[in-house]
Chain A
Amino acid sequence: MKTLFDMQPGQKAVVKKVHGEGNLRQRILDMGILRGTELEMIKKAPLGDPIEFKVKGYDLSLRQSEASLVEVEVLK
């Protein structure tokens, strides 16, 4: 299973499923990360965590633990 955590800078992907539960999951969904959303990995923070993505035209940062909840299909 590939997740947002596995992406390299510049790669694009489509979300397949958001795992996790409760408030954290709802927050990820609310921010527009849901089945079918396309997003781009921008970069990792200088210390390697969190990770920045572009989604629906804005920049979002997720911790590694949160990024690994989002299952994606990486686009070539």
Chain B
Amino acid sequence: MTKQDLTIALAGNPNSGKTTLFNQLTGANQYIGNWPGVTVEKKEGKLKGHPQVIIQDLPGIYSLSANSLEERIASEQLTQHSPDAIINIVDGTNLERNLYLTMQILEMGIPTVVAINMADMLSKQGAKLDLDKLSKRLGCPVVGISALKGTHINELIAEALKVAKSGQAPKSLAYKKDFERLLNDADVVLGSDLRKDQRRYWLSRALENPEPLNLKPDSLDKLNALVKAYEEKEDDDIQSLITFERYALIDQLVEGVRGGKAPDAVSTSDKIDRIVTNRWLALPIFVVVMTLVFGLSVWGAGPGTLLTDWVNDGLFGEIIPPAVETLLSNWGVADWLQSLILDGIIGGVGAVLGFLPQMVVLFLVLAFLEGTGYMARVAFIMDRVFRRFGLSGKSFIPMLVGVGCSVPGIMASRTIEEERDRRMTVTVTSFIPCSAKLPIIALIAGALFGGAWWVAPSAYFLGIAAVIISGVILKKTKPFAGPPAPFVMELPPYRWPALGTVLRSVWERAWSFVRKAGTVILLSSIVIWVLSSLGWENGSFGMVEDIENGLMAKLGGAIAWIFKPLGFGNWRAAVATITGLVAKENVVSTYGVLYGIGEVSEAGEEIWHHIARDFTAVSAYAFLIFNLICVPCFAAIGAIKREMNSARWTWFAIGYQTVLAYVLALIYYQIGTWMTTGTFNVGTVFGILALVGLLYMIFRRQKDYKKPELSVAPAK
């Protein structure tokens, strides 16, 4: 870092307009990543017009007490890598609660500017804030802005640069005498056991909860004695007392700052909410909104799907492949390379990129709903249902979207703040049958069940059951155990979202998907192509005419035994299952190729009699179960990896899905065969054991795991 480089951190409550302000400050110069090791998004950008100044967007938080993952990240960022200045954005329509975070930020002693957002909204309501008075009392510059309209942003930038360059720490705010005395005493007792800089912040952290700070036993004892005496005198516990002092100070700070007209007792937002979350209307409105989300993005005749069909059949069907083929032939490119490029790369990556239009439409709708504040209401309405099996109200959207396609479904889990809930949602979303699994259902229903009406609904029922079973099972395992995350959730006022923020959010998500298609999916498409196209034919190794001679068929034959206990231990079923990894549509088309029919219709009517010969009703349904629940396609695995942001968790999800699929199919096939034919053998025993094991995992008593520790080890 050169001398003139400055870092300014942007801190504020969720829903305070922080993202909109960040976009105003940085324009297009943003880098998006993740904070190391976690799935919380990290954003940085260069300040518009000042490329030597880095703006760092901290997660939206209510407090710096390091209770949640977001708070821990923000507090670590501010304490370990002290920025040169902090811009603290405060929602002017919700002053007290927003200033709570400001109190903690000012304790850190880092140069700070407070930006009061929604200044335009306040003046429209006829309210006035005396910002000079507030600035004098806070001891730091205060600028009134509108992040949405971009007003007074330049003033804010100028003030931020001024404090950053001067390094002028805000004066510390005085709490009541007794509390100041406690801080002083704690300061003496802890001495060099607590870091010297940002002393006030660390003192209050130590008072609040000394446990994560690794204090020496004797200073900890002395501190505890101090705290105990204070608690007895004030007749309350220290956490309440500290919070109380901060809010008491806020009351003094804002005294006389508000002027003009008082805000309406019942705001427009309240009126909207009375209807939208009304006891009787909430669920019908919810159904309408979800139908719209679903209809616009993934429903068969919606704009998203029509565009996707065009990209799949038009762009990657009739336009690009013939054009590339002509080009490659003209260049005289070898046949095998042509096949690799056309069938392997364009076929594989194209199948995935085809989902892009659908996803863009979906992200647009979701970003809009997020911007309006409706997402918090979705969680409010659905929480009761989902909490039962270890998920949260916000898990609903990913699963609904997953009916169309798991990829955007998994990516929609981004809106779940709590990491445990998000990981669980990412793991189970693909159990809901996506539209690409419908041909498999139609194939089995047509070939073995005479097109019975109940097969398709049973597949959805199975998906929902898998989600519930997983919720119950996983919640009892160590990584997902523990007390439920607090659902202490703000229901933000309804607002019209900023167009720029919506579009940027769509762009970020869509781009990350395209990047994935260019890496993981490209590679896996090439591997599958190589395995299917190379092999021994007519006594020599090389490109094969007949897929039956390819390495893939050999591989299928080699692993077919794995599926024997599930009733479909033939190599064709194994190969179809593997190619289903590229895209689930491949399962049916692979069968077409393997039975030597070539091109088959979507539900594969041409091969029904072959399928009927190879399967029994029980083994066919077991095949269906396995293919519906097991690892989704590569695109969905890519999405899982993106959202988990960890190789370990990605493998966990893939492994869990495969094991669950295997166990369910095993139970169904073995016990089903026993019931229908009366044959009882070793397999039946394993089937019963698997069932008992599954039931045990579902009904076993929850062990008490220790609460997850927050590992904040401040540098001394």
Give A contacts to B, CB under 8 Å: 17-18, 22-32, 34-37, 43-50, 52, 56-63, 66
Contact B491 A52 (CB under 8 A): yes
Contact B94 A58 (CB under 8 A): yes
Cα A37 to Cα B240 in complex, Å, equals: 12
Cα A47 to Cα B247 in complex, Å, equals: 33
User: From residue 282 to 312 of chain B, which have CB atoms closer than 8 A to chain A?
Assistant: 282-283
User: From residue 228 to 248 of chain B, which have CB atoms closer than 8 A to chain A?
Assistant: 236, 239-240, 243-244, 247
- Cβ-based interface call for B483 (8 A): yes
Give the residue name and chain of the B residue nearest to A33 (CB): B488
Contact A47 B384 (CB under 8 A): yes
Cα A18 to Cα B243 in complex, Å, equals: 12
Q: Which residues of chain B come closer than 8 Å to A48, judged between CB atoms? A: 384
Give the residue name and chain of the A residue nearest to B101 (CB): A30
Q: Which residues of chain A come closer than 8 Å to B68, judged between CB atoms? A: 23, 27
Q: Which of A26, A37, A47, A59 contacts B490, CB < 8 Å? A: A59
Contact B380 A50 (CB under 8 A): yes
Scoring A24, A34, A35, A46 by chain B CB atoms within 10 A of each residue's CB, the highest score goes to A46
With contacts A23-B707, A26-B243 known, what are 18 further pairs, Cβ within 8 A? A26-B208, A28-B488, A30-B63, A32-B247, A34-B240, A44-B279, A45-B277, A45-B381, A46-B279, A46-B280, A47-B384, A47-B385, A56-B94, A60-B488, A61-B376, A63-B387, A66-B486, A66-B487
Nearest CB of chain B from residue A66's CB, rounded to whole Å: 6
Q: Which residues of chain B come closer than 8 Å to A44, judged between CB atoms? A: 279
Q: Which residues of chain B come closer than 8 Å to A52, judged between CB atoms? A: 277, 380, 491
Contact B487 A30 (CB under 8 A): no
Q: Which residues of chain A come closer than 8 Å to B486, judged between CB atoms? A: 23-24, 27-28, 66
Contact B487 A47 (CB under 8 A): no
- Cβ-based interface call for B677 (8 A): no
User: From residue 39 to 95 of chain B, which have CB atoms closer than 8 A to chain A?
Assistant: 62-63, 65, 67-68, 93-95
Scoring A28, A31, A44, A48 by chain B CB atoms within 10 A of each residue's CB, the highest score goes to A31
Cα A56 to Cα B62 in complex, Å, equals: 14
Q: Which of B96, B100, B489 contacts A61, CB < 8 Å? A: B489
Q: Which residues of chain B come closer than 8 Å to A35, judged between CB atoms? A: 236, 240, 244
**11 A-B pairs whose Cβ atoms sit less than 8 Å apart in the complex:** A17-B240, A26-B65, A29-B240, A32-B96, A46-B279, A50-B489, A57-B93, A59-B491, A61-B376, A61-B488, A62-B488
Contact A26 B67 (CB under 8 A): yes
Q: Which residues of chain B come closer than 8 Å to A58, judged between CB atoms? A: 94, 97, 490, 492-493
Nearest CB of chain B from residue A37's CB, rounded to whole Å: 8
Cα A61 to Cα B93 in complex, Å, equals: 19
Cα A6 to Cα B493 in complex, Å, equals: 25
Give B contacts to A, CB under 8 Å: 62-63, 65, 67-68, 93-97, 100, 208-209, 236, 239-240, 243-244, 247, 263, 273, 277-280, 282-283, 376, 380-381, 383-385, 387, 483, 486-493, 707
Q: Which residues of chain B come closer than 8 Å to A56, judged between CB atoms? A: 94, 96-97
Nearest CB of chain A from residue B59's CB, rounded to whole Å: 15
Q: Which of A30, A32, A61, A66 contacts B380, CB < 8 Å? A: A61
Cα A62 to Cα B486 in complex, Å, equals: 8
A-B Cβ contacts below 8 A, count:
120
Cα A27 to Cα B487 in complex, Å, equals: 10
Cα A34 to Cα B251 in complex, Å, equals: 14
Contact A61 B67 (CB under 8 A): no
Q: Which residues of chain A come closer than 8 Å to B208, judged between CB atoms? A: 26
Cα A52 to Cα B94 in complex, Å, equals: 17
Contact B277 A60 (CB under 8 A): no
Give the residue name and chain of the B residue nearest to A30 (CB): B63
Nearest CB of chain A from residue B88's CB, rounded to whole Å: 16
Cα A30 to Cα B697 in complex, Å, equals: 37
Nearest CB of chain A from residue B16's CB, rounded to whole Å: 11
Known contacts A47-B385, A57-B94, A60-B491; decide if A30 and B100 are in contact (CB<8 Å): yes
Cα A49 to Cα B100 in complex, Å, equals: 28
Cα A60 to Cα B492 in complex, Å, equals: 8
Identify the 7 closest CB pairs spanning chains A and B, nearest first: A30-B63, A59-B491, A47-B384, A29-B243, A23-B67, A46-B282, A63-B487
Known contacts A25-B239, A45-B277, A58-B94; decide if A31 and B383 are in contact (CB<8 Å): no
Q: Which residues of chain A come closer than 8 Å to B387, judged between CB atoms? A: 63
Contact A31 B380 (CB under 8 A): no
Give the residue name and chain of the B residue nearest to A54 (CB): B270
Contact A43 B385 (CB under 8 A): no
Cα A10 to Cα B176 in complex, Å, equals: 35
Q: Which residues of chain A come closer than 8 Å to B487, judged between CB atoms? A: 50, 61-63, 66
Nearest CB of chain B from residue A54's CB, rounded to whole Å: 8
Known contacts A35-B240, A63-B487; decide if A46 and B247 are in contact (CB<8 Å): no
Contact B273 A59 (CB under 8 A): yes
Q: Which residues of chain B come closer than 8 Å to A31, judged between CB atoms? A: 62, 97, 488, 490
Q: Which residues of chain A come closer than 8 Å to B282, judged between CB atoms? A: 45-46
Contact A27 B67 (CB under 8 A): yes
Nearest CB of chain B from residue A53's CB, rounded to whole Å: 10
Nearest CB of chain A from residue B209's CB, rounded to whole Å: 8
Contact B100 A60 (CB under 8 A): no
Cα A30 to Cα B381 in complex, Å, equals: 24
Cα A62 to Cα B484 in complex, Å, equals: 13
Q: Which residues of chain B come closer than 8 Å to A36, judged between CB atoms? A: 244
Cα A35 to Cα B241 in complex, Å, equals: 9
Q: Which residues of chain A come closer than 8 Å to B247, judged between CB atoms? A: 32, 34, 37
Nearest CB of chain A from residue B121's CB, rounded to whole Å: 13
Nearest CB of chain B from residue A15's CB, rounded to whole Å: 10
Contact B243 A47 (CB under 8 A): no
Contact A60 B243 (CB under 8 A): no
Nearest CB of chain A from residue B282's CB, rounded to whole Å: 4
Give the residue name and chain of the B residue nearest to A63 (CB): B487
Contact A29 B383 (CB under 8 A): no
Known contacts A52-B491, A57-B94, A63-B383; decide if A24 and B483 are in contact (CB<8 Å): yes
Scoring A22, A30, A46 by chain B CB atoms within 10 A of each residue's CB, the highest score goes to A30
Q: Which residues of chain A come closer than 8 Å to B244, judged between CB atoms? A: 34-36
